[in-house]
């Protein structure tokens, strides 16, 4: 069901793309517990630092992760803003589907009323 503007779609695509990876979702889930360094993220996931860094870049580009300024540690932080946009998108879909279902209900009622009438 459509609701669209191109900018929104482009951002949603970026968010969906960033989320379409089990590793990146695991990183986000980890960051949902609090900020962490690349090393802290790599350890429980058993990935190399370069692999984690590569995934972090994708998440950063999508605006889902912010990196700190401290040169040595650069802790990573979750930014839930794009996720809220995804949720808002889902809310818009819900509204339009609800309206459709209301119409389906009316349509079914009138079709059946007509059938009843024909039978009499």
Partner 1 sequence: MTEQTDATNAVVIDRTFNAPLALVWRMWTDADAFASWYGPTGASIPFAEFDVRVGGHRRLCMEVTTPDGPMRMWFGGEYREVEQPNRLVYSELTTDENGTASDDSHTTEVRVELSEVANGTRVVMTHAGIPSDSPGAMGWQMAFDKLAAVLSA
Name which of 28 and 42 has its Cβ closer to partner 1: 28
- Among candidates 12, 66, 6, which has minimal Cα distance to 36? 66
With a CB cutoff of 8 Å and minimum separation 6, the contacts of 36 are 30, 75, 76
Q: What residues make contact with partner 1 under the rule CB under 8 A?
A: 1-4, 6, 9-10, 12-13, 16-17, 19-22, 25-26, 28-29, 32-33, 78, 80, 83-84, 86-87, 89-91, 93-101, 103-109, 111-112
Shortest reach from residue 71's CB to partner 1, in Å: 27
Residues facing residue 66 across a β-bridge: 77
Alpha carbons 41 and 57: distance in angstroms, whole number: 14
For residues 33 and 72, which CB has a smaller minimum distance to partner 1 in the complex? Answer: 33
């Amino acid at each position: 069901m459509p609701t669209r503007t191109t900018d929104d779609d482009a951002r949603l695509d970026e968010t969906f793309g960033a989320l379409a990876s089990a590793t990146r979702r695991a990183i986000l889930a980890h960051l949902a517990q609090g900020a962490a360094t690349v090393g802290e993220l790599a350890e429980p996931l058993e990935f190399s630092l370069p692999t984690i860094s590569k995934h972090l870049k994708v998440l950063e580009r999508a605006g889902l992760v912010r990196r700190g300024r401290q040169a040595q540690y650069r802790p990573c932080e979750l930014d839930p803003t794009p996720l809220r946009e995804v949720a808002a998108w889902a809310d818009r879909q819900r509204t339009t589907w609800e309206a459709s279902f209301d119409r389906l209900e009316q349509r079914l009622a009138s079709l059946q009323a007509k059938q009843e009438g024909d039978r009499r």
